[in-house]
Amino acid sequence: METILERITTPFKDTTQAQYIAKRTEFLKYAGRDLATLAAETISDFNSKWNKIDSRMKSVPGKEVIRTFRSEIQSTYSVNLSDYSIG
């Protein structure tokens, strides 16, 4: 299942990273630090989190991922997943 989740979340990486950078930079912009330094640190932090499926799943858009996951399971295994069966 981890392989499926990695595959279906990969297309969300750029938009998720952009949101992460924007929110973290906005939060830290008054810290008096250089924005380029903040961006570099944020990218490094994001990549570290992205490489771990548990933290990746906390960052991606949930509704879109679950919709894609259901579709993937349906087309691959011919199984329908309800909210109850996933939870």
Domain range spanning residue 17? Answer: 2-86
Count how many domains the chain has.
1
Other Cβ atoms closer than 10 A to 29: 11
- Going from the C-alpha of 10 to that of each of 14, 48, 80, the distances in angstroms are 9, 14, 23
**Residue 25 pLDDT class (50, 70, 90 cuts):** confident
pTM for the full model?
0.82
CA atoms of 63 and 27, how far apart (whole Å):
25
pLDDT higher for 29 or 4? 4
Q: Would you say the C-alpha torsion 62, 73, 53, 41 has a positive or negative sign?
A: negative
**pLDDT value at residue 87:** 62
**pLDDT value at residue 28:** 87
**Residue 31 pLDDT class (50, 70, 90 cuts):** confident
